[in-house]
Structure 1
Amino acid sequence: MPTSAAAAAREILVRLHEVMAARSGAQAKLNAVVNIIGEALDSEVCSIYLLREGVLELFATRGLDERAVHVTRLAPGEGLVGTIAKNVETLNLDEAASHPDFAYRPETGEDRFHSFAGVPIIRRERSVGVLAVQHVDPRRYADVEIEALQTVAMVLSELIANADLIDEGAAGSTRPQPTATQRIEGFRLVDGMASGVAVFHQPRVVIEHVVAEDVEAERHRVYAAFDKMRDQIERFASQAEFGVGGEHDEVLETYKMFAYDEGWARRINEAIDSGLTAEAAIERVQQRTRMRMREIDDPLLRDRMHDLEDLSNRLLRIVAGQLGTAAQMGLRQDSILIARNLGPAELLEYDRRRLKGVVLEEGSLTAHVTIVARAMGVPVLGRVRDVKRLIGEGDRLLLDVTSEAVVVRPSSAMEEAFEAKLAASQKRRAAFAALKAEPPVTQDGQRVTLMVNAGLRDDVAALDLTGADGIGLFRTEFQFLVSATLPARERQQRLYRDVLDAAGDRPVVFRTVDIGGDKALPYLEHDEEHLEENPAMGWRALRLALEREGLMKAQARALLEAGAGRTLNVMFPMVSEPWEFDEAQALFEAQRAWLASRGKKLPSEVRYGAMLEVPALAEVLDILLPKLDFLSIGTNDLTQFLFAADRAHPKLALRYDWLSVPILRFLRRVVEPARAAAVPVAVCGEMGGRPLEAMALLGLGIDRLSITPAAVGPIKAMIRTLDLSRLRAELPPMIDVPDGALRPRLEAWAADHGVELA
């Protein structure tokens, strides 16, 4: 067996090229292919399964019973072959029967074979078959063998397509678009409403030729495409229309870093060495990236991989000589962009006068495209399934990200209702904006502190826009998440100082970095032997920071230097026991002493707080409260921990109501001792940003809320119509002696007492 993937694949491709050029029929070619691969990999079995009429049919084999050809069929998801096709993933097993999806088919005579490896045959991003090898002895196939199989699968895709063997329905061919009105739900990424026609971001580049005639010529084509792509990206980055200095700048720098990544270029070169054309080599590396993305549980790392895929698409279009994107063809009217995913540079290509919104099949809150779209003011709806099947090019769309939906081909009545809602929303925003200068004071004269949550430098502008009292939660981890390397202390310090300068005399509460768990950083070493099944309750936040002392010391010094001459508010996340708070505070104080010994200017005061997200902390408040300057309750994590319910689980997301008796009783048990100890208590979480829930929090005795900027207006309107003394007198009996669900009782109370719950 050759010692490199390129050599192994080239040996097979040379022989396959002869098979493809022969005049024999498709079945004879497939029969020849399985023999070539089996011999090259020294494997007793090599089989090809093709997707026909929705099932995977054994089309050719070397080593299995010949009578099983065209007889053995597996549904997608059935058996190992079906699993590979359904998940578009590679399997490499030393003992096939040990896999939970293993399904024995007696007619194949495969019972004597132990090892199994299989790769999907991909056509237009969809699996149309499976190439599998098996061996009598239990052994895992080497990486070079798997890579050779993956390369051969690309050639097979071309062969079976030319032989008209592909089930085109499964291969992603254009299907008739529905014409009826449809409402499609998604996930809120960037808030807003917009209407326009559907425009697809890019048609797929179909690779017609896979095997190279001249390897050096293909290599030069790729080099030229790399140069052109990098020039494009430099131009986009320098011409970005929004301001400078925000996190979107860091996003573009990280994106540019990927474009200049020598490892990526080397992998494409290796694929060309194996005998592939430039287009096929880029696609080969891109397929490998997609498979890696499916294996990665960490959403942040997946988002970075999306940037690499975006660059692959750009490089593929350049080398194929295709303009490809709708941006390069120009938007001719108000448009809603449709895409599987986008990179930040892709979005920047579009004319912002015509681009009104974006609908993505994928996407996340931390994706680079989301950050850039937020800076551009473009609403984005993500995680919209089957978007290319349900929406046709040129369809009229009504995008309402606030309602987490897009309406396709709306009726005239729907259009009128949408325009009315948009006008009402604009009127409501204007009414809330008019309250900007008004204090959040209740009908009975009690002042509530309304602050905003932030994580970006640009978010500080919300203080002036909303009239908020300050920033009750600044999430410092975002700078870490969008960076390709650990942010230097000087860079952290610059961000924190900019935030404090922009806030002026209004307080800012900096939460120390909350990374780890589902927010893992690719540049920090991970313990591969201890993969976390439940990252939300894993090695994250303060737990990780206390272990990675260097990381926390750098952040402490950056915060202390940034806060020179002013009050610095520091909050530690996910404190579970008082000793964790003690260690974190001692670390900060040691850094303060170190800076003082070197004559550095320091904050006039440092106030330390804890975030209560872990229910266990409520049991030791008598120990913790005397040490605190303030306490913040993180209702998002607290709720999932209290109910043992993953808030990201679709079946559990709405199961447990924030206005349920367990939550309100728990919160009251925290608030009462804190008030007795004169420790201010705030709520930082989505619960505080909903008018009815916020009303209940105020009724429990909480008078400090830190919420999203968009929620400040509605919450302030609620506060200014509320008789708080009356609510605090009448809420306890509802909690102590509940009579059915609390939500309808609270809604009725608000209606009876004229509380505005817009």
Structure 2
Amino acid sequence: MPISAIASAREILTRLHDVMASRHTAQAKLNAVVDIIGEALESEVCSIYLLREGLLELFATRGLAQDAVHVTKLAMGEGLVGIIAANVETLNLDEAAAHPDFAYRPETGEERFHSFAGVPIIRKEQAVGVLAVQHADPRRYEDVEIEALQTVAMVLSELIANAGLVDSTGATTARPQSTAAMRIGGFKLVDGMAAGVAVYHQPRISIEHTVAEDTEAERHRVYAAFDKMREQIDRMSNQAEFGVGGEHEEVLATYKMFAYDEGWSRRINEAIDSGLTAEAAIERVQQRTRMRMREIDDPLLRDRMHDLEDLSNRLIRIVSGQLGTAAQLGLRQDSILIARNLGPAELLEYDRRRLKGVVLEEGSLTAHVTIVARAMGVPVLGRVRGVRREVAEGDRLLLDVGEQSLHIRPNAAMEEAFEAKQLITQKRRAAFAKLKAEPPVTRDGQRITLMVNAGLRDDVAALDLTGADGIGLFRTEFQFLVSATLPQRERQQRLYKDVLDAAGDRPVTFRTVDVGGDKSLPYLNHDEEGEEENPAMGWRALRLALDRDGLMKAQARALIEAAAGKTLNVMFPMVSEPWEFEEARALFEAQRAWLAARNRKLPADIRYGAMLEVPALAEVLDMLLPKLDFLSIGTNDLTQFLFAADRAHPKLAMRYDWLSPSILRFVRRVARQCHEANVPVAVCGEMGGRPLEAMALVGLGIERLSITPAAVGPVKAMIRSLDRAALAEQLSVLLAAPPSSLRDSLMAWAGQNGVELV
């Protein structure tokens, strides 16, 4: 049994170096490799499967039947070997046959072996084979053995690529077969429109030599590269041109923390100790990070690990002496950047005069690059699958993030339509800007309160830009999500005070932290039950905050002290039963009493509200309303709970309509109860930011909307053209006997009654 991963890997690599330098055939070398690995790990079986003609073929084995070599073949995704290759993941099983994807191949004679461990052999970020070991006794292989296998797999990648044994993976930036105009879709990350030529962010750096001749020399190369990389990061952070004091500064601080992380540099050093070159050691640690990313369901933690990948790419470029990015080579014309993913510092390297937009194969709303791009004003379209297959360097691109589309090699008609839309958009913006000082009052005299949703300090600027009445939802969790550690109370307090000061006399409603479930914090320890199968309906929001009341107490004190002398509006998310609201309010009141006893300056008033997202709360609303100062309906979560449909599921995203009888009847019932109890009720969420949906909400009796800043102009224009009483009467008819499409009926009514819908 090996005593350490370093010793195991070094022993194997030393022997592999001799094998690779020999004049033997590729097959003979592979035969020698499985013997070396099997002996070093004291494993009865060691096998190498390589991808050829689309199938994973058994190329060499020690321990299985030799007659099976070049006979046993598995499709990608078939059997344990196929799963490893398809998912680019590691498997470590004490009983292989118990795995649901186990596929028995009688010609191999493997029935007497129980334990199984396998790692992918990776070339250009794709699996080109699998290295597997097996043992007769049921046992899991130790971490040191798995790490040794992963290191060896990396060296094998070089050997088999040089021998031409596997299918060619091809360059991801090669010109596509088609040169015709086409459109592909994506996911809106940062709204906007842009035109320019396609520029690839980073061609892949190919590592040619993996086994080190001089370990100390490789270590010094890495040390020098780390110093240079950290200088670059510090310089970029200091020279960032966009405003000060925003959450993007916290993003960059977190990013810098990764750059100085001793654990990361230690892992690279350990890989060098095992016998790898500097480039191979960085790539080895990067591969491990990628595999971990594939195993992580939490999108937020996965986003943080993208920052580490960004730094790894930068470090490899420095240590290899290759510039490698379009930013360092310089943009020569208006450009749209194409990348699998980006780190925030990589985006900051680009010339903002010529960088017009970004298209990502991956990306998410909470990724650091999205936050920084928003601060820079650069439109970003994410989750554009296959973009690197369809777009060639230099292709003309039209990016319309609002329409969630990318037009590739557009024809004259597409260009003309795009330019016309840009012109219309500019004119609409100008028209909406003129409405900024006008009140959102319906034609029959009903004043509607229009608020904005926010989560960043800089978002408060939207109040002046849009003329909104205030902030109806400030998502306090954003500060937690972009931080590497739990934000201290003082830091929270500074943010809340800055927001209140910037808002002036306009109200701000702070939603207490909504984390957990699918918004997991890596620094917050979770229960030991493991990953949640239904995170949106799991241990999150108020449930988590009440269980971890230290988190909520710190936030309560920060909010109370920040609002000294002002009115503090606090809203609790995901309230399911009245006792949860009462417990949360009692916690806040206890903190107010604690501060009062110490003669701290307190808010002039604290108003407490709840978010209605869980349908069960509507059934006990009569019990809760007497205790509420206000209620807010969160339509995003409410919709998925009412329909039992995950809103992030691609097959369900467009299946259920907000303008359905079930949603509208539910909202009408809640609005009526609130009006009868004289409790203000608002809707916050995407539904209220769409003019047609907002029209329906106003007709149902909703008088307060909290929406994205970009939606304020279009919704205000709709309100000012609407006769609310006439719509309320029409909705009563439609909801009593709903037509097949309420959406079509409401669109028709709006057209007939001159309602402005943009």
Contact map agreement 2:56 2:129 (CA 8 A) in 1 = yes
Contact map agreement 2:564 2:602 (CA 8 A) in 1 = yes
Equivalence map 1:300-699=2 (5 Å): 300-699=300-699
Q: Which moved more, 1:145-154 or 1:68-77?
A: 68-77
Question: How much has 1:163 moved relative to structure 2?
Answer: 0.7
Q: What do the CA deviations read for 1:607-636 (whole angstroms, capped 9, x no partner)?
A: 100000000000111110000000000000
SS in 1 for 2:121: strand
- Taking the aligned partners of 1:666 and 1:174, their CA distance within structure 2 comes to 53
Q: What is the match of residue 248 of structure 1?
A: 248
- Taking the aligned partners of 1:670 and 1:427, their CA distance within structure 2 comes to 38
Contact map agreement 1:44 1:136 (CA 8 A) in 2 = yes
Q: What is the match of residue 754 of structure 1?
A: 754
Question: How much has 1:73 moved relative to structure 2?
Answer: 1.1
Equivalence map 1:44-83=2 (5 Å): 44-83=44-83
SS in 2 for 1:725: helix
Q: What is the match of residue 13 of structure 1?
A: 13
Q: What do the CA deviations read for 1:240-274 (whole angstroms, capped 9, x no partner)?
A: 00011000000000000000000000000000000
Contact map agreement 1:127 1:170 (CA 8 A) in 2 = no
- Taking the aligned partners of 1:729 and 1:36, their CA distance within structure 2 comes to 82
Q: What do the CA deviations read for 1:641-700 (whole angstroms, capped 9, x no partner)?
A: 011110001111111111111111111121111100000000001000111111111111
- Taking the aligned partners of 2:696 and 2:176, their CA distance within structure 1 comes to 50
**TM value normalised by structure 1:** 0.99
Contact map agreement 2:64 2:109 (CA 8 A) in 1 = yes
Q: What is the match of residue 225 of structure 2?
A: 225
SS in 2 for 1:505: coil
Equivalence map 1:28-43=2 (5 Å): 28-43=28-43
Question: How much has 1:310 moved relative to structure 2?
Answer: 0.4
Q: What is the match of residue 292 of structure 1?
A: 292
Which amino acid is 1:118 matched to? G
Question: Is the alpha carbon distance of 1:530 and 1:89 closer, same or farther for their aligned partners in structure 2, counting shifts above 3 Å?
Answer: closer
Contact map agreement 1:451 1:472 (CA 8 A) in 2 = yes
- Taking the aligned partners of 1:374 and 1:442, their CA distance within structure 2 comes to 33
- Taking the aligned partners of 2:450 and 2:294, their CA distance within structure 1 comes to 41
SS in 1 for 2:402: helix
Contact map agreement 1:51 1:170 (CA 8 A) in 2 = no
- Taking the aligned partners of 1:652 and 1:386, their CA distance within structure 2 comes to 22
Structure 1: which 5+ residue stretches go unaligned? Answer: none
Give aligned-pair identity as a percent: 82
SS in 2 for 1:154: helix
- Taking the aligned partners of 2:72 and 2:173, their CA distance within structure 1 comes to 26
Which amino acid is 2:302 matched to? R
Q: What is the match of residue 707 of structure 1?
A: 707
Which amino acid is 1:291 matched to? M
Q: What is the match of residue 150 of structure 1?
A: 150
- Taking the aligned partners of 1:640 and 1:739, their CA distance within structure 2 comes to 23
Question: How much has 1:136 moved relative to structure 2?
Answer: 1.0
Question: How much has 1:45 moved relative to structure 2?
Answer: 1.0
- Taking the aligned partners of 2:179 and 2:166, their CA distance within structure 1 comes to 28
Equivalence map 1:243-282=2 (5 Å): 243-282=243-282
Q: Which moved more, 1:631-640 or 1:37-46?
A: 37-46
Contact map agreement 2:337 2:359 (CA 8 A) in 1 = yes
Question: How much has 1:176 moved relative to structure 2?
Answer: 4.5
SS in 2 for 1:342: coil
Aligned length: 758
SS in 2 for 1:403: coil
- Taking the aligned partners of 2:176 and 2:661, their CA distance within structure 1 comes to 50
Q: What do the CA deviations read for 1:7-42 (whole angstroms, capped 9, x no partner)?
A: 100111111111101101100100111111111111
Question: How much has 1:172 moved relative to structure 2?
Answer: 5.6
SS in 2 for 1:402: coil
Q: Which moved more, 1:115-124 or 1:161-170?
A: 161-170
Contact map agreement 2:173 2:389 (CA 8 A) in 1 = no
- Taking the aligned partners of 1:147 and 1:484, their CA distance within structure 2 comes to 27
- Taking the aligned partners of 1:602 and 1:316, their CA distance within structure 2 comes to 53
- Taking the aligned partners of 2:203 and 2:58, their CA distance within structure 1 comes to 32
2:130 matches 1:125: no
- Taking the aligned partners of 2:583 and 2:210, their CA distance within structure 1 comes to 60
Q: Which moved more, 1:58-67 or 1:366-375?
A: 58-67
Q: What do the CA deviations read for 1:503-541 (whole angstroms, capped 9, x no partner)?
A: 110100000000111111111111232421001000100
SS in 1 for 2:198: strand
Q: What is the match of residue 196 of structure 2?
A: 196
Q: What do the CA deviations read for 1:95-149 (whole angstroms, capped 9, x no partner)?
A: 1111111111111111111111110000111111111111111111111110000
Which amino acid is 2:145 matched to? E
Contact map agreement 1:190 1:401 (CA 8 A) in 2 = yes
Contact map agreement 2:2 2:145 (CA 8 A) in 1 = no
Question: How much has 1:739 moved relative to structure 2?
Answer: 2.6
Question: Is the alpha carbon distance of 1:346 and 1:676 closer, same or farther for their aligned partners in structure 2, counting shifts above 3 Å?
Answer: same
- Taking the aligned partners of 1:398 and 1:623, their CA distance within structure 2 comes to 54
- Taking the aligned partners of 1:412 and 1:401, their CA distance within structure 2 comes to 20
Question: Is the alpha carbon distance of 1:449 and 1:172 closer, same or farther for their aligned partners in structure 2, counting shifts above 3 Å?
Answer: closer
Q: What is the match of residue 99 of structure 1?
A: 99
- Taking the aligned partners of 1:413 and 1:190, their CA distance within structure 2 comes to 26
Contact map agreement 1:5 1:147 (CA 8 A) in 2 = yes
Q: What do the CA deviations read for 1:28-87 (whole angstroms, capped 9, x no partner)?
A: 100111111111111111111111111111111111111111111111111111111110
Which amino acid is 2:395 matched to? D
Contact map agreement 1:2 1:8 (CA 8 A) in 2 = yes
Contact map agreement 1:128 1:171 (CA 8 A) in 2 = no
Which amino acid is 1:499 matched to? V
Contact map agreement 2:95 2:116 (CA 8 A) in 1 = yes
- Taking the aligned partners of 1:270 and 1:592, their CA distance within structure 2 comes to 51
Q: What do the CA deviations read for 1:555-608 (whole angstroms, capped 9, x no partner)?
A: 111111111111110000000000000011111111111111111111111110
Q: What is the match of residue 736 of structure 1?
A: 736
- Taking the aligned partners of 2:35 and 2:489, their CA distance within structure 1 comes to 59
Contact map agreement 2:173 2:391 (CA 8 A) in 1 = no
